[in-house]
Amino acid sequence: MKIDQWSKVALWIIAVMFVLNFAHRVLIARPAQAIGTADQIGRYQITSWATHTGGISYHSGYYILDTVTGKVTNRLAELHPREE
């Protein structure tokens, strides 16, 4: 009887591992792809950023991404000295 219990436990563990493997493949993050037509609304994505360099200066900038072609259409990076 003990062998029968161990077999059931082993089969349950294997079944749970299969379910987790399937869930991982379904829920994994994939890279975004730019798919659509040329006249699509919402074609551009604008992202801005800023950072502090420890009290000496500040950096900021932006870039504009064309989501249909995947290319950066415009970008800017600026250095701002610390104002005292």
pTM for this one? 0.42
Mean per-residue pLDDT, 36-55 = 74
pLDDT above 60 (res 1): no
For the chain, the structural domain boundaries read 1-30, 35-84
What's the token pair of residue 27? Answer: 């829920």
Which are the contacts of 72, defined by CB distance < 8 A and separation ≥ 6?
63, 64, 65, 66
Per residue in 54-84, pLDDT (tens digit) is 778 888 899 888 887 888 888 888 888 877 6
pLDDT, residue 37, reads: 62
Q: Which one-letter amino acid corresponds to residue 26?
A: V
In angstroms, how far apart are the furthest CA atoms of the chain?
A: 81
